[in-house]
Structure 1
Amino acid sequence: MARVARPPAVQQAFVLHQYDWSETSLVLDLFTREQGRIAVVAKGAKRPYSQLRAVLLPFQRIQVTLSKPGKTAEGDVAEVVTLRGAEWAGGMTLPAGAALFSAYYLNELLLKLLARQDPHPQLFEAYADTLPELHAQEDAQSQAALRAFELRLLLEIGLLPDLSLSTLTQAPLDPGRTYMLSAEVGVLPHAGEAAAFSGASLIQLQAALLHGSSAALQYACAACLAPLRQSLRGLLHYHLGHKPLRTRQVMVEVQKLIE
């Protein structure tokens, strides 16, 4: 029987969320390149003199050193491990303005849609590539970066149909016809008041997804931002079910106060 490879002790990570565990310690939800989303205990991280306080910040790429997984009372491998150390691994400073809301939105998507211990190295790099593209004043570039990340996330977790094919017939799309993206079915000929895509734009999106480049995918998204935003919002809400996105609601409420 083949042995399961033990995850590396040192990993690249981002902090998605943190919870108080005691007066001096935290439980962190980390997004790691090697293991996906994992929970770790950061003992003493809340103490004033702890070196971890300045490192365990959201949206900062860090390098973490983890303890070996322990065992539960039933003999299973414990889900939560202990954080032994963390170092800043370079990257951007804390986002500001609209970029901060957008970055928290990415974190919320990962928390609600990713299973624990399910590695997605391409998605990890896409997350790292997306953060610098989010601007304090929301613009088309920021929107394209968000749509590209949503597409990559849905693809990685198996919830995105092949955008170059008609889902029901599996026939290649006609670049000159219009189509829609249905949450329940997939890619269909356009009908009614649904957001409309040209076949050419969907084919370009699929090609960019297969290419794997964040820049290429953001470029393809920029060409069809309005229908993509509406369609992906419906797709995400459909798969989130009873788990509404609080970050988006906060963004809407703040925009109402500013207007």
Structure 2
Amino acid sequence: MATKRISDEPAYVLHRYDWSESSLILEVFTRHYGRIALVAKGVKRPTSSFRPILLPLQPLHLAFGGDAEIRTLKAAEWMGGHVMPTGDALMSGIYLNELLLNLLARDDPHPGLFDVYGNVVQVIASEHGEALEPALRAFELLLLREIGWLPMLDAQTMTLLELDPQQRYTLVPEGGLRQTNASDRASLSGAQWTALQRSLADGAPFTATLRACSEVMSELKPQLRALLNYHCGVTTLRTRQMMIDLQSL
């Protein structure tokens, strides 16, 4: 059987593992094939042309082939656009990658989510820090919706009753959206949840959801964090723990 070769595929490197003294295994997010694993042979050698290209948060076009679970990288081209983020922006990008590695199955295409990821990377790489937090919240919402783990945000999950615009509601991992009780530390009004639902259904969902998130960031963040941790099966994601440790220093 002829080995299938894919060329000129838009992609981002999510993570890299040592495979041998000279080679790496790459976890890659591609537009048309989803998350895949590639072996990059000889990439660690000083003379490798791939060495300065295969970096996270950089837009790439890749060629690869093979029918095994781990395919072989054939070519890589940097598509330009921005330099490597640093500081908090870099940590935010690593956080995005950790979410994708934890929540996306291999070989499951999500072209719309790939485009959203590219939009967030552009925000991360820019110097507009005020847009970073809303962009992260927008990505979290769109990721959860894409993989089917976000309930409808304009109705109570268990009863399917419409939200009262003035009432407060909380998003909880095992119960979806419900009326806020005394033990809940964060909540949004029915009107705010409904606005988020409308933004997700917009024709340009990233831009619309970013705007909606900018109005409710402080209350939305802990609720999404709890939901993401629940589905990732952890109490704290590694990236967040790293940021906590750095701040403590």
User: Shorter-chain TM-score: what band?
Assistant: over 0.9
Output the TM-score relative to the length of structure 2. 0.92
Deviation at 1:248, TM superposition (A): 0.6
* 2:144 corresponds to: 154
* 2:134 corresponds to: 144
* 2:193 corresponds to: 202
- Name the amino acid aligned to 1:122: G
- Name the amino acid aligned to 1:19: Y
Q: Which moved more, 1:204-213 or 1:121-130?
A: 204-213
Deviation at 1:7, TM superposition (A): 8.1
Q: Hey, what's the Cα distance between the residues in 2 that align with 1:29 and 1:10?
A: 17
Q: Hey, what's the Cα distance between the residues in 1 that align with 2:189 and 2:129?
A: 23
* Identical-pair percentage: 47
- Name the amino acid aligned to 1:172: E
Query: Contact conserved, 1:148 with 1:221, CA < 8 A, in 2?
Result: yes
* 2:7 corresponds to: 9
* 2:220 corresponds to: 228
Give the secondary structure class of the aligned counterpart of 1:13: strand
* 1:96 corresponds to: 86
Q: Which moved more, 1:158-167 or 1:125-134?
A: 125-134
Deviation at 1:236, TM superposition (A): 1.0
- State which of 20, 25, 28 in structure 1 corresponds to 2:26: 28
5+ unaligned residues in a row in structure 1: which ranges? 1-5, 71-77
* 1:65 corresponds to: 63
Residues 205-257 of structure 1: CA deviation (Å, up to 9, x unaligned): 11111114312111100111111101011111111114741111010111122
- Which aligned pairs between 1:1-259 and structure 2 lie closer than 5 A? 8-67=6-65, 69-70=66-67, 78-134=68-124, 139-194=129-184, 195-211=186-202, 212-242=204-234, 244-257=236-249
Q: RMSD in angstroms over aligned alpha carbons?
A: 1.8
Q: Hey, what's the Cα distance between the residues in 2 that align with 1:7 and 1:82?
A: 9
- Name the amino acid aligned to 2:150: L
5+ unaligned residues in a row in structure 2: which ranges? none
* 1:3 corresponds to: none
Give the secondary structure class of the aligned counterpart of 1:134: helix
